[in-house]
Amino acid sequence: MKLATIINEQDLGIQEKSKFANLLSTLADQSKSKTDMDWMDGNGREMKHADGDELARWFSHVEKDFENYLKANLLDTTNQLDVICDILSRDGNNILTGTRFYDLYRIRVGEIQTKVTELRAALDSESTDWDPILLNNYRTYFRCTECAFTNEERINRQGVINAEEASILRTLADCLGLSNQEVSELNYCVVPIRELDLGELRTSLRDSGIGFVQKKTDTILVPDEVVKVIRRVQGKEVADKFLRRFLKLLREPELNQVCKAHGLPIRGISAEEKIKVLILKGISLRGMLKNDIFKDTPLNERKKRVTEIAESAFEDVKVGGATLDDKVSIVFKHIQEAESADYIGISKSGYHQMLNDLTAFCPAGIQELRDTFEFDYQESITAENLTNLGIHPRDVLECLSGLSLQTFIESKGFSKRGNQIANILHAYRNTEDLWVEQFENLANRDLQALRTHGLDIKEADLGIRFQEVTASMLASIGLQETKELRAASKKGKEQPDVVVQLATAEVLLFEVKSDKKSVYSSYASVSRQIESYKKQLQSAGFQVARSVIVAPDFSDEFIRNAEQDIDLDLLLLPASELKSLFLMVREKPTLASSVGARMIKLRRVLATAKYMMG
């Protein structure tokens, strides 16, 4: 969930917002680019009174400073920010109840304590089954961390790792090829972990600026923007779901090669378990694509294989690049685009149907979904909840085991040829629903936004497509277009966009106007058009009960003219309100029978769905 959405739509207390705002203010004061911080005081208000959009904008200005601040605090084992961040940065964990968060925290603390015991035994032993190179790297990092921590104790101060030492240790870990999990566990070999209570964890989370706590529902909320920063600080190149996607695309020998590269056993272990362990270790996707999956493979063959994997990972993508580094960089570019896009690959109604079918035909798949994203049994698996957590339809399918995926495909009769996950998504991709979801962008003639959401259209066709989608939406709310009447009201080359015949000889006349400016203002021209169409319909024996204009929105002058033109009796319906009306009727179909009558009776010019149907 975006930072602006959390601030604007979640019922947070003033204390929650103030702590975060104060942190941003402190970071801004310390920022090297302080001369560029005039944007902070532009509205003459204190930060704590800012809305979500303003705080999100301010966060973007100090994001790099926030990252440096978090880096400096992450190796401080007393606040256990590394454990907190490890939990909250996992896919699906950015919105958690306090109880669920504490359950995951205690599980992680137990895992760390068990691992620390194993590590200490290996570090102190002269003979061990551990890989000698890996163990030597562990000992090097452990001794350096121990030295950094005890430096203060030598001068009679409390043991702590300062910012400079933390930076050096992070560089050392990178040079030794240690994962985030390995670094965390080695740190706790030096400073034993103790279990904090939930109150202490909440305080640490708030004070660090990582997230918010909604007291009424005891919900922890971490903004998407903060999760991205946490992952960068942890050294995570990509979200776990993307690492899982690429690991699942590997052939078995390639997956085994990756396991060997990271000191993991391969015999007697399923592919699903190998992938799970590799994700938990936080391996580098870049390193995997460049080196780990290959063994004595020529460079040209490496480039060809990386291209194959990448083009399977993203729909309708061609991966160019002359060198292997170029190709890997293009992979990361597509991952960044996928993370920032709102488009989930199919319509929301298609997502809802896919989850319903998965529940009905493959209950084991739903359990695997819960296990993968660590959902509580009480948490409902809905399209809306998963979308808020950044979990898209493809992510759901990719967390299924091979057996569950085949069960689902066979139960629904989906094609087994080619990319099976792509075949499933295609079956649930309802293009008409996508046009409805992007109705405001269509009204605004926002070609780029439409293409970003998988709707390919020429600019010249936007107007006619807006008219077609409007007619379809009107039909869905009980106002079926009467094409014969539309032809009867034609004058020259012009004819009304939509004409709906009611039960009597009355009709509703609709004019549909898209506009790049997002505000329609041409009152004189549209009023002449409607007057002409009304005369044509009257001559054919029909009475226009009311004329309705659908547009992105209307200028103040347009609204005033419409209010003063009593004879024309216009109803102005913004695109967003027609969409709201459509969704309202879809939720409660019995309303469809009264929509036409309510449009006629509404005694105001500018319509809202809530007022019309209330």
Domain end call among 232, 265, 291:
232
Q: Indicate whether 441 belongs to any domain.
A: no
C-alpha 141/C-alpha 530 separation (Å) is: 78
Q: Indicate whether 447 belongs to any domain.
A: no
Q: What is the pLDDT of residues 249-278, one digit of tens each?
A: 999 999 999 998 887 888 888 888 999 889
On the CB side of 486, CA atoms within 13 Å amount to 14
Q: Indicate whether 387 belongs to any domain.
A: yes
CB 355 within 8 A of CB 383: yes
Same domain, 22 and 166: yes
The set of long-range contacts for 22-30, using a CB threshold of 8 Å and a minimum separation of 24, is: 22/47, 22/48, 23/66, 23/209, 24/55, 24/58, 24/59, 24/62, 24/66, 24/209, 27/62, 27/65, 27/66, 27/69, 28/58, 28/61, 28/62, 28/65, 30/65
Same domain, 493 and 601: yes
Q: Indicate whether 434 belongs to any domain.
A: no
Same domain, 19 and 148: yes
Same domain, 414 and 513: no
**Confidence at residue 492, expressed as pLDDT on a 0 to 100 scale:** 67
Residues 6+ apart with CB under 8 A from 540: 485, 488, 489
Instruction: Give the number of domains in the chain.
Output: 4
Helix 81-88 with 198-207: angle, nearest 10 deg: 80
**Confidence at residue 42, expressed as pLDDT on a 0 to 100 scale:** 46
Same domain, 376 and 258: no
What tokens were used for 99?
A: 């109880």
Q: What is the pLDDT of residues 52-72, one digit of tens each?
A: 888 888 888 889 999 988 887
Across 297-314, b (16+ Cβ under 10 Å) vs e yields eeeeebbebbbebbbbbb
Q: What is the pLDDT of residues 354-363, one digit of tens each?
A: 999 999 999 9
Could you tell me the pLDDT band of residue 541, with boundaries at 50, 70 and 90? confident
- Give the H or E element holding residue 95: strand 95-97
DSSP 3-state assignment of 257?
Answer: helix
Q: Indicate whether 327 belongs to any domain.
A: no
**Confidence at residue 76, expressed as pLDDT on a 0 to 100 scale:** 66
Dihedral sign of CA atoms 273, 274, 279, 285 in order = negative
Does 559 have pLDDT greater than 60?
yes
Same domain, 223 and 281: no
CB 82 within 8 A of CB 74: yes
Does 345 have pLDDT greater than 60?
yes
C-alpha 578/C-alpha 585 separation (Å) is: 11
CB 107 within 8 A of CB 147: no
Distance of CA 561 to the CA centre of its chain: 42
Domain end call among 267, 302, 317:
317
Same domain, 403 and 467: no
Domain end call among 232, 257, 280:
232
- The residue among 181 and 450 whose pLDDT is bigger is 450
C-alpha 181/C-alpha 264 separation (Å) is: 14
Same domain, 385 and 310: no
What tokens were used for 227?
A: 């999760």
C-alpha 98/C-alpha 119 separation (Å) is: 31
Same domain, 111 and 149: yes
Mean pLDDT of 517-532: 91
The answer to whether the predicted template modeling score (pTM) of the entire model surpasses 0.75 is no
Same domain, 14 and 78: yes
Domain that holds residue 474: 461-613
Does 35 have pLDDT greater than 70?
no
Q: Indicate whether 337 belongs to any domain.
A: no
CB 86 within 8 A of CB 184: yes
Q: State which amino acid sits at residue 423.
A: N
Q: State which amino acid sits at residue 433.
A: D
Q: Indicate whether 437 belongs to any domain.
A: no
Mean pLDDT of 391-420: 91
Q: Indicate whether 339 belongs to any domain.
A: no
Our separate counts of H helices and E strands in the chain read: 33, 7
Same domain, 129 and 51: yes
Among 514, 510, 491, smallest CA distance to 502 is for: 510
C-alpha 72/C-alpha 76 separation (Å) is: 8
DSSP 3-state assignment of 219?
Answer: strand
Give the chain's mean pLDDT.
86
Mean pLDDT of 575-582: 93
Same domain, 255 and 387: no
Residue 188 DSSP symbol: H
